[in-house]
Amino acid sequence: MAWNTIDRNEPVVDADASPVLSEAVCEKIKTFFPKYPTKRAVLLPALHIIQHEQGHVSWQAMIEVAELLEIKPSDVFDTISFYTHFWTKPQGEKVVTVCRSISCELLGGREVLAACKEHLGIGEHQTTPDGKYSLAVEECLAGCDHAPCLIINERMHKRVKPEQVPALLADAGNADHGLPRSDLFDPPVATNGSDEDVIDATSDVAEMKDSN
């Protein structure tokens, strides 16, 4: 599989821009500080919180979270640019994420991706002009035994054939999974301070996988 390089570096930073991180978001990020050895180590949870709240991590948000974590904005961008999960510009209402790892690749993932590109009229990490759909590719989506797979928002679609893509994208319910949104990136909560009481929010994710 050849690497496909996408340059997502289109920085537009206004020196007079108003802050974009709300006090609530900053406070939520700070609740992670006691759980990590350094503020820098809170960067990934912080980015998840920001993207969860705002849909993407803007250049201004990168500057502000860098200040909060006492690191350089370039350190924040280094991390964001490594993970395709993070978006530096607004995503569509639904994000179609196609797997590009080996099992899916061998079983037609490349053709599924091509069908998504053709039907949506956009490339990887782009959004349709009407803001309805964005398209992304990621490594293994943990559904290898049902390859080729794609995820629309948080709903997994298994054994997708290229010819099914138009109907799949036209289905208004294609992102519904019937479960509450994962609390995975909410701050850890303990009822009496013991480790046993820390909420295991990953159970939501397990339930979602079981339901597919």
Binding mask 83-112 for ligand FES (x = CB under 6 A): ----------------x-xxxx--------
- Give the 3-state secondary structure of residue 78: helix
Window contacting ligand FES (CB under 6 A); options: 26-34, 120-128, 140-148, 173-181 = 140-148
8 Å CB contact between 63 and 13: yes
Q: Cα–chain-centroid distance for residue 43? A: 15
| Minimum distance from residue 143 beta carbon to ligand FES (Å) | 4
The bridge status of strand 155-157 relative to strand 150-152 is: antiparallel
8 Å CB contact between 134 and 126: yes
137 binds ligand FES (CB under 6 A): no
How far, in Å, CA of 197 to CA of 104, rounded? 39
156 binds ligand FES (CB under 6 A): no
| Minimum distance from residue 165 beta carbon to ligand FES (Å) | 16
Window contacting ligand FES (CB under 6 A); options: 9-17, 39-47, 134-142, 191-199 = 134-142
Enumerate the β-bridge partners of residue 151. 97, 156
The size of the interface with ligand FES (CB under 6 A), counted in residues, is 12
Which positions touch ligand FES (CB under 6 A)?
99, 101-104, 140-144, 147, 149
